[in-house]
């Protein structure tokens, strides 16, 4: 579909690997469920990760 982001073409007999920024795991694993929930909600609306926006969502 035009205008839609696509990942790499699937390769038979291989594992898909994803690189996850450490800051993302830190923000999502916060002990405050409201803060981590805001990060998750913000992240799900992004086409590309915006770390600054995720930090702002975490802060409230």
- Convert the pLDDT of each residue in 7-43 to its tens digit: 666 667 766 667 788 999 999 999 999 999 999 999 9
Angle between helices 33-44 and 51-59 (to 10 degrees): 150
Q: Is the pTM of this model over 0.85?
A: no
Cα dihedral sign for 16, 37, 35, 7?
Answer: positive
CB 60 within 8 A of CB 38: yes
């Amino acid at each position: 579909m035009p205008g839609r982001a696509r990942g790499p073409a699937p390769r038979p007999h291989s594992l898909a690997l994803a690189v996850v920024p450490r800051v993302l795991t830190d923000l999502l694993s916060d002990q405050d469920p409201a803060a981590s929930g805001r990060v998750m909600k913000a992240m799900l609306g992004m086409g590309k990760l915006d770390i600054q926006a995720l930090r702002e969502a975490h802060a409230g």
